[in-house]
Amino acid sequence: MSAVPSANAGQPDRHAALEARLASYPAQQSSLASQRVLSYREVNRAGHDALPLVLLHGIGSGAASWVQQFDALGESRRVLAWDAPGYGASTPVAAPSPAAQDYAAVLREWLDTLGIDRCVLVGHSLGAIIAGAFAAANSQRVAGLLLLSPAGGYGAASAEVRDAKRDQRLAMLNELGPQGLAEKRSANMLSAHASDEARAWVRWNMSRVIPHGYAQATHLLANADLASDLARYAGRVNVAVGADDAITTPAACEKIAQAARTPLQVVPGAGHAGYIEAPAAYTALIDTFCRASGRNEADELSQ
């Protein structure tokens, strides 16, 4: 009888290839005025004056997850992806049970440190919550807000629901740890169409979350209400979701799009981590949004 290959067969080789690709965008650190450190990755090739693109990852990920977007979009603009507070080498926020505004304040400080006055802001999943809070409080800094598979948060739910959602995720973290989370949860992030390389990359990123930062982000998810923040933001916004997203479903994202007063874009054949498993489709979506935001910016300046 021939041996059945394990689910992790070939995984080290795939990880090595992904890490080699990532080496083109090494982790950097900004020292912020508040004595914080913020780690991030960037591509900033000379010769273009387009609006910078800032990418915010979800709860089980990090800056490295955007490597395919760096490759494709870095030719036309400056592209940056942060490790959210409590992720990578980034200093956690101070509050044990933080609100979206706590993360948005760090985002503003980081952009100030880098001299970025205005950008296109993209948030995926939990990153959409932070992006929405930042845009609501700093609309003049955002030329366009693109939310990919946005998590809405449970801030508008009952206390019982908020507590249950928070405690369930915290219990899973305590039981499994980052590596166990990656093995158990990463498959949920992808559709049946995802390649082995995409699955490996999602696992790689999830296995590197820091328990304290993930726990704070879990509190953020329980406390947040993205729809409320979007109701206060009058700028340019788009919302997109994978057709096969089982975490932030198209039906749930439709409600977010309605709060943002924009049609929902549905990407065929993609799950929750769509920008990883269907990079061409998502890169085109992001690029189109960036270019439209830039044209809108130019039109406003010419008036």
pLDDT at 122: 98
Within a domain: 29:
yes
- DSSP assignment of 248-283, as one string? S-HHHHHHHHHHHTSPEEEETT--TTHHHHSHHHHH
Number of helices followed by number of strands (H, E) in the chain = 11, 8
pLDDT at 11: 56
**Domain containing 55: what range?**
11-297
Two tokens, residue 105:
């304040």
Mean pLDDT check: name the lowest of 29-33, 41-45, 191-195.
Answer: 41-45
Rg (C-alpha) for the chain, rounded Å, is: 18
Within a domain: 2:
no
pLDDT at 291: 94
pLDDT at 299: 62
Return the CATH number at 44.
3.40.50.1820
Two tokens, residue 137:
């409080």
Within a domain: 192:
yes
- pLDDT above 70: residue 9: no
Mean pLDDT check: name the lowest of 45-49, 168-172, 205-209, 281-285.
Answer: 45-49
Question: Tokens 């933080």 correspond to what residue?
Answer: 98
Neighbours of 159 (CB within 10 A): 9
Within a domain: 173:
yes
Within a domain: 81:
yes
- pLDDT above 70: residue 12: no
The confidence band for 141, taking pLDDT boundaries of 50, 70 and 90, is: very high
How many independent structural domains does the chain possess? 1
Give the pLDDT confidence of 143-200 residue by residue, as tens digits: 999 999 999 999 999 999 999 999 999 999 999 999 999 999 999 999 999 999 999 9
pLDDT at 4: 28
Within a domain: 1:
no
Amino acid in the structure at residue 87: Y
Within a domain: 273:
yes
pLDDT at 301: 59
